[in-house]
Chain A
Amino acid sequence: MENDTYISPSPVYGAGIGLRYQHHEDVLNSKPRINWFEVHSENYFGGGLALDYLKKIRLDYPISLHGVGLSLGSSENLSKTHLEKFKQLIHVISPALVSEHLSWNIINGVYLNDLIPTPYTDEVLAIVSRHVDETQNYFKQQILIENPSTYLEFNVADYSEADFLSALVKKTGCGLLLDVNNIFVSSKNHGFDANEYLLKIPTEAVKEIHLAGHTKKQFKKISILLDDHGSKVADEVWALYQQTLRIMGQKPTLIEWDSNIPALDVILEQARIAENYLEREN
């Protein structure tokens, strides 16, 4: 892939959608009216046909690369192989944005295919900061860190999640990818005030917003919200998104849809709703 760079990064604005394999052909054939796409970087590490599609789509649209497997929150060292594959993909795609998660999924050399939360302690802040620094130095560019949706909290904490993210921004100069659905899900699961969370986030660090659907799982008498990216954005999340835009102003916004993936038009329609909210904040 070394001699394959062909496009300069172009900034993203307005609404975009997550691009999944099922829609590659459709996007190439129909060239939908959408500002940008975001992909899971790891899906293209294998090269081949998937990367060929992405390179073709990149000719017409800005792309954001969203990593799920760096495991920035793990106490283990980052995988040099993973970093290198990610860097090669950046080299080929020239993405507008590069992002990863405040979570971990690798320990003892095993990859658990989920985004697992970390305690928000000084020890973990030092770990994540070191890994974000290493990644930004390796990529030679800023990365955005996404707030997770969580289904558990630790008894030990030196920071709230929002304070932890603010401290991470100060220590590393990273940007933030604010997932409004994740804030909503975690606030309901743990009983914190989503508005207070938003007010603690350094506005200027937020370079992208995520929106997605969630589902409800019943545990005897209590329900828990699961961030499954398998449905339309909930009304309460649209309301929180509107509130986020009021506080932060316009931010590039992405619709994610990763399970029960519908026809492309359904996801594009969600992006159009996000566009309407963005225009109102203009």
Chain B
Amino acid sequence: MEFIKIQRLFLRYILYGEYHPSLDKLIKSNIINPMDRLNIYRNNTFISLQECLKSTFPVSQQILGEKFFTQAAKKYIVDFPPTNGCLTFYGESFSKFLSSLIEIKNLPYVIDVASFEYAMHQSFYADDYPVLTAEDLTLIPAEKYGDLVLNFQPSLQLIQSFYPIDYIWSIHNDHSIEQMVELKIIKSTKLENYFVYRLANTVYFEKIDQDEADFIQHLKQGMPFEKAFSVISTIYPNFNLTKTIQRLIQFQVLTSYNT
């Protein structure tokens, strides 16, 4: 049999558990039967990828319980297997996948928690660029402000949720609690915004106001400074530009600018 056909038969069994009888002829039995031998590779594949997801989504696992999380991860691996050997960012679509599971209908906030965890993960592994300081900003001539486009550290992530992610996170960090299934989480009518950033080798987050979040989002998307300010101050007349700029400088998320 051509090797490519052998590989496809292996894939069918290792990933999907579909065993083709011709594998019995291809693989030596030698006391342990071929299916048991292939199961070693099947187990290695699933366990290592489940571990990968568990390390990226520890709070989601705590909420769902290890048993359910492991089952959900297994289904995710089958539906969305990795496509290359770099697993650092495997799990990007995991929160969306969770939203498709009817079993977690009574825990809807776990979807936002998973998105938040992935943002923290991305922030942790993001590239670092030299920081733009307050002094650097003062050197920009005032007449250039109109066209000023600010560039951000890729570790800066903005996340929104109707659930109190910060509260859930603080419970998670209480290591006396092993599982959070019993948490009573109430959906708010107000969308909360979280500003995720990294300083040195630690990822932090801050809750920020909607006007700040929208302003930063516009800037991140490349909108010139003056236009972003004009758009935001029209919608939010009380928008505090100074406070927002101070926050961006304090958290070292600005890297450069174009004028």
Contacts and interface: CB of A to CB of B under 8 A. Distances in A.
Contacts of B135: none
A152 B27 contact: yes
Contacts of B21: none
B28 A110 contact: no
Interface string A72-85: 00111001011001
A138 interface: no
A152 B32 CA distance: 9
Contact of B85 (A105, A124, A152, A217): A105
Contact of B28 (A52, A71, A155): A155
B35 to A, nearest CB: 10
Contact of A46 (B14, B25, B81, B88): B88
B108 interface: no
Contacts of B125: 46-50
A46 B89 contact: yes
Contact of B30 (A42, A68, A190): A190
B149 to A, nearest CB: 23
B4 interface: yes
Interface bin, chain A: 35 or more
A104 B7 contact: yes
> Secondary structure of the A side of the interface?
mixed
Contacts of B124: 48-49
Contact of A85 (B25, B86, B127, B155): B86
Contacts of A81: 84
B4 A155 contact: no
Contacts of B236: none
Contacts of B52: 113
A107 B37 contact: no
B3 interface: yes
29 contacts: A42-B85, A46-B125, A49-B124, A49-B198, A50-B88, A50-B125, A52-B128, A71-B85, A75-B7, A76-B4, A79-B84, A81-B84, A107-B4, A107-B10, A111-B83, A111-B84, A112-B14, A113-B87, A114-B44, A116-B10, A119-B6, A151-B41, A152-B27, A152-B34, A154-B26, A154-B27, A155-B28, A190-B30, A219-B31
Interface of B: 2-4, 6-8, 10-11, 14-15, 25-28, 30-32, 34, 36-38, 40-41, 44-45, 48-49, 52, 81-89, 124-128, 155, 198, 201
Question: 3 tightest CB-CB pairs across the interface, nearest first?
Answer: A69-B85, A46-B88, A152-B37
Interface in A19-44: 25, 42-43
Contacts of A75: 2-4, 7
Contact of A69 (B7, B34, B86): B86
Interface string A89-116: 0000000000000001111111111101
A105 to B, nearest CB: 7
Contact of B86 (A46, A121, A153): A46
A105 B48 CA distance: 13
A106 B126 contact: no
Interface string A139-154: 0000000000001111
A121 B25 CA distance: 16
Contacts of A222: 31-32
B28 to A, nearest CB: 5
A70 B52 CA distance: 19
Contacts of A124: 3
B65 to A, nearest CB: 23
Nearest to B29: A155
Given A46-B125, A82-B85, A105-B85, A155 B37 contact: no
A42 B86 contact: yes
Contacts of B15: 110, 112
Given A49-B124, A113-B49, A151 B83 contact: no
Nearest to A71: B85
B77 to A, nearest CB: 9
Contact of A48 (B8, B87, B128): B128
A152 B28 contact: yes
Contacts of A113: 44-45, 48-49, 52, 82, 85, 87
Given A46-B88, A116-B14, 15 more contacts: A45-B88, A46-B89, A50-B88, A82-B86, A106-B84, A110-B11, A111-B82, A111-B85, A112-B15, A116-B10, A151-B37, A151-B40, A155-B26, A155-B27, A217-B40
A100 to B, nearest CB: 10
Given A46-B88, A71-B85, A123-B3, A224 B40 contact: yes
